[in-house]
Amino acid sequence: MGLRLIFLGPQGSGKGTQASRLARLMGVPHISTGEMLRQAVADGTELGKKADAIMQAGDLVLDDLVVAMVGERLSQNDAACGYILDGFPRNVAQAKALDEVLETPLDGLVQLDVPHEELMKRMLLRAEQEGRADDTEEGISRRLAIYWEETAPLSDYYRETDRQVFAVDGLGGIDEVFSRVALALAVE
């Protein structure tokens, strides 16, 4: 199994946690567009200024801005032998743009499956614990709606274009889910 992977999963699926753990195990960078954008907002960069209000509303930042940010990140040395992308692509337009900028094609996609009710429960708990600006009930619902509408169809896009798609059950503890991810990718 190659090391160029996308992690796909709805908000609250544990995607960030699992992606970061897998990246550590495989010795490749974990690239989270949500984290990069939050950092840009905190640093007050041009990109951050454009993204701030959009993120707070739970909407997607413009494809062109995010694609440029990811393209730049993937051109850095540490991503030369692989990476785990988390939070990107989020729609088919971004997936196509990614295919165009990549010199070495993606190896595949890991998709974490968690039922909607469980997601709302986990997200509201996270909102209490972390107090992220976009973790209001409205923001969460908005992000989940966008996920089902625009992001979930990505697994079909990747299947149709002959990439491997590994669907993993995301219910259970962090270790339990990680074992499933590792088993699916045969990296244990």
The bridge status of strand 83-86 relative to strand 30-32 is parallel
- Residue 60 interacting with ligand ADP (CB under 6 A): yes
Nearest distance, CB of residue 186 and ligand ADP, angstroms:
27
| Residue 89, preceding peptide bond in cis (omega within 30° of 0) | yes
Phi/psi of residue 113, nearest 5 degrees: -100, 125
Q: Which of 21, 122, 143, 180 is catalytic?
A: 143
Q: Which two tokens stand for residue 172?
A: 């259970």
Nearest distance, CB of residue 171 and ligand ADP, angstroms:
18
Instruction: Give the dihedral sign, CA 173/112/144/74.
Output: positive
Where does this chain touch ligand ADP (CB under 6 A) — which range of 53-61, 105-113, 157-165, 167-175?
53-61
| Identified binder of ligand ADP from the candidate list 83, 88, 158, 178, rule CB under 6 A | 88
Where does this chain touch ligand ADP (CB under 6 A) — which range of 22-30, 85-93, 112-120, 165-173?
85-93
Q: Which two tokens stand for residue 108?
A: 């595949």
Q: Which two tokens stand for residue 73?
A: 């990140």
CB nearer to ligand ADP: give 44 or 188.
Answer: 44
| Identified binder of ligand ADP from the candidate list 4, 5, 11, 163, rule CB under 6 A | 11
Distance separating alpha carbons of residues 121 and 41, to the nearest angstrom: 27
| Identified binder of ligand ADP from the candidate list 2, 25, 48, 54, rule CB under 6 A | 54
SS3 label, residue 5: strand
Apex CA 158: angle with CA 111 and CA 183, to 5°? 40
Catalytic status, residue 126: yes
Catalytic status, residue 38: no
Region 113-172 residues binding ligand ADP, contact defined as CB under 6 A:
134, 143
Active site residues: 15, 90, 126, 132, 143
